Amino acid sequence: MTLHLSERTRLAGPVDVARYGEYTTPAEVTFTGRITDDAPFTVRPSRYHVYGGRFCPDSHRVAIIRELAGIQHLVTMSYVDDRRDGRGWAFRERHGPDPVNGFTLLREAYEATEEGYTGHVAVPTLWDRFGVRVVSNDATAIGIDLATRFRHLAIDPVDTYPAALRAKIEELARCTSLAELDARLADADYLVGGVLTDADIRLWVTLVRHDDLHTYPNLWRYARALLKIPAFRDTTDFGF
């Protein structure tokens, strides 16, 4: 007999801290698989799904990369609820059920991958439909792989991680001063090489969560220009 579950039955119950306690965060990166030309995680259409969170800057970065890379038809993405208890992230009505596995808790994806899993249940999480397992919860690596591995299958891709600029992109990722970044943008439209790169995406997901951005004139101009780009505008929820 085939069991057909309605959307409502595939949603988790309400957040219940009294019953399940607060969520505690172990070490963040547990799975570090990479998409390559070789097994086990090869480049295949419709193979991968990203579980993200609208509230999460790292998930937001991955969502923007997915749009700019032109791989929406190749790699799907869905979102967990914005709140959690001791069970971790869950699928609730606000963002809908898990469209891939029908899980109610993201933890189920981790437990399907590693029996008795006790590590961090993180977003973003990259899921392998073919292998029925988690590939990675290393947010930086997920973004790089989505930006670079599917270009031959993509539709009008933007190369946000060009080989010639990668060292500068990673170097800039260690810069945490808004004042320094504001000065860097005084005579530039983009952070690195005069083109839109992952450095700009990483900065954007930070800037949109700052209430005082207007006090930095160059960053303010820069952010307004990025907002005109559909991949930035359409993935940004200003009600974080």
What would the pLDDT profile of 43-101 be if each residue is shown by its tens digit? 999 999 999 999 999 999 999 999 999 999 999 999 999 999 999 999 999 999 999 99
Evaluate whether 24-148 and 163-233 have a shared fold. Answer: no
Sign of CA dihedral 186, 187, 191, 192: negative
Give whole-number Cα distances, 226 to 30, 75, 206, 218, 234, in Å: 33, 23, 13, 12, 11
Asked whether the predicted pLDDT for residue 5 surpasses 90, the reply is: no
- Quickly state the pLDDT bin for 3 (edges 50, 70, 90): very low
pTM for the structure as a whole: 0.94
Residue 157 C-beta-side C-alpha neighbours within 13 Å: 20
Asked whether the predicted pLDDT for residue 232 surpasses 90, the reply is: yes
- Quote the pLDDT of residue 64: 98
Asked whether the predicted pLDDT for residue 4 surpasses 70, the reply is: no
CB 36 within 8 A of CB 42: yes
Asked whether the predicted pLDDT for residue 208 surpasses 90, the reply is: yes
Mean pLDDT rounded to a whole number for the chain: 94
What is the percent of the chain where pLDDT is above 70?
A: 95
Extract the runs of DSSP E, i.e. beta strands, from the chain. 48-52, 75-79, 125-128, 133-136
The stretch 195-214 carries a mean pLDDT of: 96
Q: Measured between alpha carbons, how far is 110 from 122 in angstroms, rounded to an integer?
A: 10
Q: How far is CA 231 from the centre of its chain?
A: 13
H/E stretch holding 140 reads helix 139-148
- Quote the pLDDT of residue 2: 38
Q: Measured between alpha carbons, how far is 88 from 57 in angstroms, rounded to an integer?
A: 18
Question: Residue 133 is encoded by which pair of tokens?
Answer: 């397992």
Looking only at the bridges linking them, the beta strands covering 133-136 and 48-52 are unpaired
Could you tell me where the DSSP H helices lie in 8-50? 17-20
pLDDT single digits (tens) 109-118? 999 999 999 8
The CATH architecture one would assign to domain 24-148 is: 3-Layer(aba) Sandwich (3.40)
Domain extents in the chain: 24-148, 163-233
Asked whether the predicted pLDDT for residue 183 surpasses 80, the reply is: yes
- Quickly state the pLDDT bin for 6 (edges 50, 70, 90): low
Q: Which residue has the tokens 């439909």?
A: 129
Asked whether the predicted pLDDT for residue 1 surpasses 50, the reply is: no
Residue of 109, 66, 116 lying closest to 90 (CA atoms): 109
Burial class (CB in 10 A: 0-12, 13-18, 19+), 38: exposed
CATH class of 163-233: mainly alpha
